[in-house]
Structure 1
């Protein structure tokens, strides 16, 4: 008869006391989180979808390896196009040395690992361990969203972009000067491929940290300088691809401009809405900077990052739904005492830009398409409104109580300096 270890037997004996809520939640959430990772990264991602973001990337890196033209696509089609600069092509070149299926599967693997690493570093940033309930809760929350699912199913590089963002924010908050150099390298590597995180460079500028800017601009310059003579048609990127990037699409575009053009809104109304939300974002950034930058650096940095990114999605010419993935650091601020998203309108907004629910209606197709296409735009818009209103109403309450006099902090300005420190 095989002897069963005592430690294993003890795990199945009746408990002498009820388990804690944390123990129950971990037991429930970890299996669901692990299976969600498996389902999104192995089942859905390997099955693929009509939209294939990896196809143009693979064609480009193969052409790069063979010395053929890369920037020669027909932009009259709505299929995914290859828009990465020569430096990004060089960075992704190793995927051109594998068969197409193996290359795609490794690409999915690396992005899945990058998302999990981003979750791990976010937990560390908020002082949570992998043994806490927050770990499976965060991972599950990430992998049930439309943004993470679409990133893996469409097979694009947003998982790695998210990891670069989290490392950038974490090293900015570290307080050690050598980490500021690493922050610049982290965001610089993302800019080599796509400039979606460039708005975040305003944060080290506001915080008087110049070191991250060196890597943020230097890394892309180095990669592109090396790759430029290696690409057979580098000027086509300037003459053909860049104008397309700067143009406004009316498909797969949740920005105000993209949806406004799709629905035929007058340009003056589109411009007015863009200016309105830009001003809301500016007002929020001013209040965050004035009252939180030194008192609660973690809250200031991550909330400001969310405001900057959402404003860029709404106000610029392109905002795609799965860009919302970059808002996970901002959404984690819900656990902070100064959080601006501890209210139901904020979570209504989050539902809009994170949900996988589809709103296409077979019997009312026009209504269904409107709900489906606009839910992300409405979610981003509502979130900017919520953040500004919460901050502004706090300001008005403090002013009415006479707590804004010199040397007196408003009652809602809590000092969270032990959580993170930023050198000014």
Structure 2
């Protein structure tokens, strides 16, 4: 059988020096592909102690059989089924398959969703699959704790990420009718869980009203349709909703969750929540005031990062693998106005994205603190970095007189004084 010439050309001697981009693509693509296969096929099918899909499968089977769904005992630490009736209806097809087949298809759909999210994210930033950015992004995504845990625990977050990226894509492409599609995309995530609900503030601030209508209508319609089909819908209100709004002290990286776990006084927990809430508000104001019209892509994705991180920190629940919703924000590193082109930001990113375990066998107390607090510290440090970078730019622009007319599109670009910090 003849070997394709395109394959042979990869092994022939070079007639000219390879460019840096060619070398990087050659190195990154095989590593990225094997990492994807390893996470989605090997680790995910092996599973782990935590099984987020188990409660989902039990719920959709009970839904099919007409049995009670919202009857769990929340005193146990095991994963619980917290999706509303609309989410149960949306996931109902998985209840018509054997458990193993259902789980493997769930992993497959989430893996494909993450890959599609990466592709649309590349297109949002004007990169092609032929660029170095493609394998670099895929490798970066599949080497994080958030993507790995999503697949290994068999969680729905891969599909949530895809809908988030589509939400941004349709809001930013300049086509008014696509705002309806953006609302549908984020509305589908709200049928399952409210993780991305804070992002609705962005089309509201940007006066993209069309996106808000389906964002509210889609989860409402799914829940109205599912309500009479679920045998115990009121138990969701009586039992599940109070648990959702409670604060658990396990698998919870929010300020309140870790504060309760380590026994901090409530006044200190409240103070920390207020401080980081104010940092987020300050950052959002600076972004809205000076970037919304001058750099819409940077404004929307950076604001999304601030909104989500503040939600993870300040509300009752912030789980580590929620960090995968920050990939659109992290991609802003390629933009000229990026606030994360400094080593402090990437120290924060390491904290909430790394797969490294910091448990210490000889010093268990220290190791547990490093392991359980690194995500909280990472999110907290990132909010501090974003606010400081934006505020120092504001002070520089004000000192240089670039705020006088308010129309200079370059006024908030990183100044020469801070090039060594932000460049």
TM over 0.5: yes
2:357 aligns to what SS in structure 1? Answer: coil
The answer to whether the 8 A contact 1:338-1:412 is kept is: no
In structure 2, what is the Cα distance between the partners aligned to 1:11 and 1:273?
A: 56
Distance 1:290 1:66, change over 3 A: same
Distance 1:293 1:65, change over 3 A: same
Distance 1:6 1:71, change over 3 A: closer
Match of 2:384 in 1: 385
Task: Name structure 1 gaps, 5 residues minimum.
Answer: 415-424
After TM superposition, the structure 1 = structure 2 runs for residues 163-202 of structure 1, keeping only pairs within 5 Å, are 163-202=162-201
Task: Tell me by how many angstroms 1:16 deviates.
Answer: 1.3
Match of 1:352 in 2: 351
Residues 172-218 of structure 1 show CA distances to partners (whole Å, capped at 9, x for unaligned) of 10111110000000000000000000000000010011111111110
Matched, 1:45 2:9: no
The answer to whether the 8 A contact 2:394-2:412 is kept is: no
Higher RCO, 1 or 2 (CA under 8 Å, sep at least 6)?
Answer: 1
Task: Tell me by how many angstroms 1:403 deviates.
Answer: 1.3
Distance 1:394 1:407, change over 3 A: closer
After TM superposition, the structure 1 = structure 2 runs for residues 121-136 of structure 1, keeping only pairs within 5 Å, are 121-136=120-135
Match of 1:421 in 2: none
The answer to whether the 8 A contact 2:294-2:409 is kept is: no
Match of 2:340 in 1: 341
Residues 101-146 of structure 1 show CA distances to partners (whole Å, capped at 9, x for unaligned) of 0000000000000000000000000000001000000000000000
TM-score by length of 1: 0.96
The answer to whether the 8 A contact 1:111-1:152 is kept is: yes
Task: Tell me by how many angstroms 1:413 deviates.
Answer: 3.2
Task: Tell me by how many angstroms 1:18 deviates.
Answer: 1.0
Matched, 1:213 2:212: yes
The answer to whether the 8 A contact 1:295-1:413 is kept is: no
The answer to whether the 8 A contact 1:58-1:100 is kept is: yes
In structure 1, what is the Cα distance between the partners aligned to 2:3 and 2:302?
A: 52
Distance 1:3 1:307, change over 3 A: closer
Residues 303-355 of structure 1 show CA distances to partners (whole Å, capped at 9, x for unaligned) of 00000000000000000000000000000000000000000000000000000
In structure 1, what is the Cα distance between the partners aligned to 2:10 and 2:43?
A: 35
Residues 137-180 of structure 1 show CA distances to partners (whole Å, capped at 9, x for unaligned) of 00000000000000000001000000010000110101111100
Task: Name structure 2 gaps, 5 residues minimum.
Answer: 414-423
Q: Which runs of 4 or more aligned residues in structure 1 lie more than 6 Å from their structure 2 counterparts after TM superposition? A: none
Aligned residue pairs, count = 414
In structure 2, what is the Cα distance between the partners aligned to 1:3 and 1:68?
A: 60
1:12 aligns to what SS in structure 2? Answer: coil
The answer to whether the 8 A contact 1:114-1:163 is kept is: yes
The answer to whether the 8 A contact 2:403-2:411 is kept is: no
Match of 1:422 in 2: none
In structure 2, what is the Cα distance between the partners aligned to 1:307 and 1:59?
A: 36
In structure 2, what is the Cα distance between the partners aligned to 1:5 and 1:154?
A: 41
The answer to whether the 8 A contact 1:398-1:411 is kept is: no
Task: Tell me by how many angstroms 1:10 deviates.
Answer: 4.1
Match of 1:238 in 2: 237
2:359 aligns to what SS in structure 1? Answer: coil
Residues 363-398 of structure 1 show CA distances to partners (whole Å, capped at 9, x for unaligned) of 111111000000000000000000000000000011
Distance 1:230 1:413, change over 3 A: same
In structure 1, what is the Cα distance between the partners aligned to 2:202 and 2:123?
A: 21
In structure 2, what is the Cα distance between the partners aligned to 1:10 and 1:349?
A: 42
Match of 2:248 in 1: 249
The answer to whether the 8 A contact 1:252-1:320 is kept is: yes
Distance 1:293 1:95, change over 3 A: same
In structure 2, what is the Cα distance between the partners aligned to 1:7 and 1:60?
A: 50
Q: CA RMSD in A?
A: 1.3
The answer to whether the 8 A contact 2:397-2:412 is kept is: no
Match of 1:417 in 2: none
Match of 1:419 in 2: none
